[in-house]
Structure 1
Amino acid sequence: MNFLNTDIGIRTFQEIVNSKTYVDKSLLIKKVSEYIGTESKYLCLTRPRRFGKTINANMLGAYYTKGYDSDKLFADFKIACTQEYRDHLNQHNVIQIDFSRMPDFCTSYQEYLESILKMLKSDLAEAYSQTRGKAYDRISQMLWETGDSFIFILDEWDSIFHEEFVNTRDKVHFLKFLRGLLKDQPYVELAYMTGVLPIAKYSSGSELNMFDEFNFMNDNIFDHFFGFSEGEVKELCEKNEGITFDELKRWYDGYYTSDGKSLFNPRSVTKALNRKLCLNYWTETGPMNEIADCIENNVDEVREDIVKMVSGISVEEDLHGYSALDLELNTRDEILSAMVVYGFLSYYDGHLSIPNHELMEKFQRVLSRDSMGGVKEIVDRSREMLEATIKCDEKKVASMIEYVHDQEIPFLQYGDENSLSCVITLCYLYARKDYDIEREAKSGKGYCDYLFRPRKSGLPAIILELKSGGTCEEAIRQIKDRNYLQKTEKYQEILLVGIAYSRKKEHVCMIERCTNN
């Protein structure tokens, strides 16, 4: 069997369970089972790549599929402790399709769909003798003929949309195919569908408007089952030595559940624990180039937003989302919504931000692209800024900030301290190669504006304080009086940098070098 009542889910899920980094998400089964045989039986759960969609789909297949005994597999999981555990255990005919799997050397949408239909028809003919030797105009006719009902688990439903050989007409046809297969069909007990892209359901004539859609922007039902919570990551750290919880949090945290609880990127956490090293794992598998291309085509719409977020300033916005057919993004709302859907931005309580260090590295590279215009020119000169700071060349530091401020980039014209922070971020972007830079860092009796922690020996730590309307002397005095130096005790050399700006004066910089004995 290819799709019908196969043991693929069981075998694949068993491999995941054998991993040292598996996290029990089995209570998803209880939640999904509530929808079986109800008018709300159509569920579409979209999440970024590598966020647990396929693991959960295989878990559901392993639990529901008729003809196997999965009791031993689930016996030690949370679901086994519920009263409803055995109600649906291996009780259903399951059609499980991973739409990301394609025929060898597939070159057209027609080849792709014909391959799926051929395997599904073969499965049904093998299992139901009454369907053999008959011609059917639609696959739904063959499913009616069986007289049975089915749970459909359709993983990565939108994967075909990313193929170069698929055009808009093909996409519309695929949506109609899914509609004919699923919509208002009496043989459907449950349709559980996953993907990255939201369904095109934003018009009254949408083909799949029977689905309830749950994504990063609206899910308050299933959000705890995708991604790792803080508690789950702490447990993994206890079982897998080599990386601290604080390291994992800095690198891979930054997403939120609907109630504001923290979510970690699961792929990156597991990779880091297995390799005992925090690196950029997840974004190498995702469509960062696609997002960057969208930004390039609409740079004026989102350039300011990106610079603010790289500066650690969240962007307030009421996003409306976008659909699976809107792969060509034309507006600021669509671009930002796409970045949330893909997982490149975090969105909570109406605020957008770059989730973590892993993604911050990617967005820093975006600022260096030619399409960023004047911003790229500033970034290209940021190496000079760091060198001037380390040499304590106060005049050059001040002149470079003055140069950036004088560029014809509207959001760099100071209206508040956030604008000054954007300038500082761009001026010191090169420093992020050798430093971990924290904005509004808690230290001593308050929060210093910028803390630069060197990643390698031989470089000084840097504490940078901004004063809009004040003096450099006041900035340096604040660093000392509020004991911001507390965060730099392990470094031999520290630079205290005060930068002041007044509407009536030019930028002024003061740098004081000190040491820890």
Structure 2
Amino acid sequence: MQKLPIGMSDFKELIETDRYYVDKTDFITEIIDSSAKVILLPRPRRFGKTLNLSMLNYFFDKEQDNRALFKGLNIAHNTNAMEYCNGYPIIYITFKDVKEENFEKSLLRIKRLLSNEFLRHKKSLNSLELEEIEERQISNILDESATQVDIEESFKLLSKLLTKAHNQKCIILIDEYDTPIQTAFLKGYYEEMVGFFKTFMGAVLKDNDVNLYKAVLTGILRISKESIFSDLNNIKVYTLLDNPFSDKFGFTSNEVKAMLKSYNLSDNFEEVNRWYNGYKIGETTIFNPWSLLNYSDSGAFDIYWANTSSNDIIRILVENSDGFRDDLKYLLKGETVEKVINPNITFKDRDFNFNEEMLYSFLFFSGYLKYTSKTWKQGEHICQLAIVNVECQYIFRKIISNWISEKFSNPRLRVLLKSLTDGDLKLFEKIFSEFVRDTLSFYDTGKNVESVYHAFFLGLLVNLSDYEIISNKEAGYGWVDIIVLHKEEKEKLALVIELKTIDEFEEETKEKALISAVKQIEEKAYVSEVQKKGYKHILAFGVVFDGKRVWVKEG
């Protein structure tokens, strides 16, 4: 049984160590056949971007013969495509580790990357009769003393010299181009970084046809054209909304079935489908490749993808969103929300932190949400969005709990949860009232939107790791707001909770609202659902909210 290539991003190492490989070499053919000179492919993290660019590097690189790496793979049977093998000088760089505290440190790291790339081509450069200014520029780049201007024009210079040395145009591969830009936004030097990349990209990709055959760029997001690519008219962008290249990143259903069969896990396909499927790229359904590799290796269902990166920008957007908490209620129930998805991410907008369109576009293109349907209307992508799968459901629940955990100490939260599971409603009412008072803003509570309180309550309850939290489920003769059940011990106290907000229009009092909540539990026979599951000790109660005030009444 072949070992799995977990964490491997070097194509040559993967093939030479005989790791299991999902054949994506048709990606090469699609690149060759594309009419675009410059191709940008934004995809979620851990979807094989670096591995695919590494594959392109080994296939096209003129300075080494790598034909043996592709023996037996799909591309080897394509005689037309194989004519391009080892036919081009390659300029290859990845910016995935450029995550510095300021622009100066970022530029130093970029200088090091560029120096290494020039050093890789030293033999070709030494074969040329160079102008004095070219020698000086190369020397400065190699010893990392180059000015910012020289750095910005470095790839244009390198493409010119390699084309001359090999009598062949270059292919340029740039991996994770947007990592430094996202970091710069978070650290406060966005304008400087965008200014650098706009000049750097423009120099090598624009009006450089004499030295450029193709360029392929990957990242997570498409940074707005007016920010970086405004001067390029030869770039083609294929996002998650587009059909070209849709099956080249991530695994298709057939590829997953073949992998599971190889590791004697075929019987678990339906559960695998529930946990790791659901991504839509164009019209193609795609599984998360990182999660699938880890699952096939361990044979255990777990949260693999969620723990591989920080989500700082998404967090900023979530925390500043007025409507996200309302939408979260529906998303956690498995329902959809209709939103505009913008393929162009514009960080420079002064209202970016509070822009709902940017929030949902980030969540979509980063792989946390999928579209179940989409339409193109008046120049906008209107999408019905849903949480992708079980693994992503965990991420959303974790986000909710983070609203609470950062503002309250864990001991206080433990006391709150213990009062709830012990059935001490008097203590629970007291502490829960403090949580609502100190955490929710008046904007959140001003309209008495029940869904805000509901999502807030769920954010607390997800910390009960030994309990199953059921939300908005059909029970008895209606839909119960929240049920809390111990996962293993049915002797433990089970909770049935009905939430209400005071109806100001009806001039409702807290007493009437509490009676109404308790009455609804009884009339709709919500407790019967819990009894059917074998729980004997059941506490049913109503919770009434009015702004930042909370009251509880036992049923």
TM-score, length-normalised on structure 1?
0.73
SS at match of 1:227: coil
CA positional deviation for 1:201:
0.3
Q: Output one character per residue of 1:401-449: Cα deviation in whole Å (capped at 9) or x when no partner.
A: 9999998666796889x77964774574444x22454657799999998
188, 193, 197: which is aligned to 2:217? 193
In the superposition, relative to structure 1, how do residues 27 and 180 fare at CA in structure 2: closer, same or farther (>3 Å)? same
Whether 2:511 is the aligned partner of 1:475: answer no
Q: Please give the alpha-carbon distance, in whole angstroms, between the structure 2 residues aligned to 1:59 and 1:430.
A: 43
1:292 matched to 2:324? The reply is: no
Q: Secondary structure at the match of 1:45?
A: strand
| Contact residue 94 and residue 151 of structure 1 kept, 8 A | yes
| 1:434 aligned residue | 466
Q: Secondary structure at the match of 2:316?
A: helix
Distance 1:157 1:113 in 2: 12
1:156 is aligned to 176
**Amino acid aligned to 2:72:** D
- Counterpart of 1:56 in structure 2 is 52
Q: Secondary structure at the match of 1:476?
A: coil
Q: Which residue of 2 aligns with 1:18?
A: 18
Determine the structure 2 residue equivalent to 1:215: 239
Match of 2:360 among 336, 343, 346: 336
Deviations 1:243-297 (A, max 9, x none): 93344344433422322x543322122223323333333233222234223433x
Q: 1:27 to 1:456 in 2, by over 3 A?
A: farther
Q: 2:44 is matched by which residue type in structure 1?
A: P
Distance 1:61 1:84, change over 3 A: same
1:46 to 28, 42, 45: 42
**Which amino acid in 2 is paired with 1:32?**
I
Q: Distance in 1 between matches of 2:86 and 2:104?
A: 37
Partner of 2:300: 277
| Cα deviation code 1:321-341 (max 9, x no counterpart) | 443754983232222322323
Please report how far the alpha carbon of residue 155 of structure 1 lies from its aligned counterpart in structure 2 after TM superposition: 1.3
Q: Partner of 1:366: helix, strand, or coil?
A: helix
Match of 1:29 in 2: 28
What is the aligned partner in structure 1 of residue 94 from structure 2? 98
Q: Which residue of structure 2 lines up, in the alignment, with residue 127 of structure 1?
A: 124
**Residues 400-411 of structure 1: matches in 2 within 5 Å?**
none
1:225 aligns with 2:221: no
Structure 2 residue matching 1:222: 3-state secondary structure: coil
Is 1:355 equivalent to 2:388 in the alignment? yes
- Confirm or deny: 8 A CA contact 1:45 1:193 kept in the other structure: yes
Letter in 2 for 1:362: I
Is 1:111 aligned to residue 108 of structure 2?
A: yes
1:78 is aligned, of 74, 77, 80, to 74
Q: Is the 8 A contact 1:25 1:225 kept in 2?
A: yes
Tell me how far apart the structure 1 counterparts of residues 327 and 219 of structure 2 sit (CA, whole Å): 27
Q: How does 1:298-313 map to 2 (within 5 A)?
A: 298-300=320-322, 302-313=324-335
Scaled by the length of structure 2, the TM-score of the pair is 0.68
What SS does the corresponding residue of 1:174 show, helix, strand or coil?
A: helix
**1:196-237 CA-partner distances (Å, limit 9, x unpaired):** 231330479714453212223x23212222222334333333
Equivalent residue for 1:5?
Answer: none
1:69: how far off? 4.5
Which residue identity lines up with residue 25 of structure 1 in the other structure?
K
Aligned residue pair count: 481
Using the TM superposition, give the Cα deviation of residue 90 of structure 1 relative to its aligned residue in structure 2, in angstroms.
2.8
- Aligned Cα root-mean-square deviation (Å): 4.9
Q: Structure 1 residues 370, 181: CA separation in 2 closer, same or farther (over 3 Å shift)?
A: same
Q: Could you tell me whether the CA contact under 8 Å between 1:124 and 1:131 is conserved in 2?
A: no
CA distance in 1, matches of 2:61, 2:244: 24
Structure 2: distance between partners of 1:475 and 1:262: 40
Aligned partner (choices 245, 253, 264) of residue 277 of structure 2: 253
1:466–1:500 Cα contact (<8 Å) kept? yes
Alpha-carbon distance in 1 for matches of 2:333, 2:307: 23
Q: CA deviation at 1:23?
A: 2.2
Matches within 5 A, 1:318-397: 318-323=340-345, 325-326=347-348, 329-332=352-355, 333-349=357-373, 350-369=383-402, 388=420
Using a 3 Å threshold, how does the CA distance of structure 1 residues 365 and 415 change in structure 2: closer, same or farther?
closer
Distance of 1:304 and 1:34 partners within structure 2: 46
Paired with 2:58 and 2:120, the residues of 1 have a C-alpha distance of: 18
Distance between the aligned counterparts of 1:293 and 1:272, measured in 2? 31
Cα contact 1:449–1:465 (8 A) shared by 2: yes
Q: Deviations over 1:439-470 (max 9, x none)?
A: 57799999998776754445669797989999
Over 3 Å counting, the alpha-carbon distance change for 1:322 and 1:103 in structure 2 is: closer
Amino acid at match of 2:525: I
- Is 2:416–2:432's contact at 8 Å kept on the other side of the alignment? no
- Residues 322-365 of structure 1, C-alpha deviation per residue, up to 9 Å, x if partnerless? 43754983232222322323333334431233333333333334
SS at match of 1:51: coil
240-249 vs 56-65, which deviates more? 240-249
Q: Tell which deviates more after alignment, 191-200 or 272-281.
A: 272-281
Contact 1:412 1:419 in 2 (8 A): no
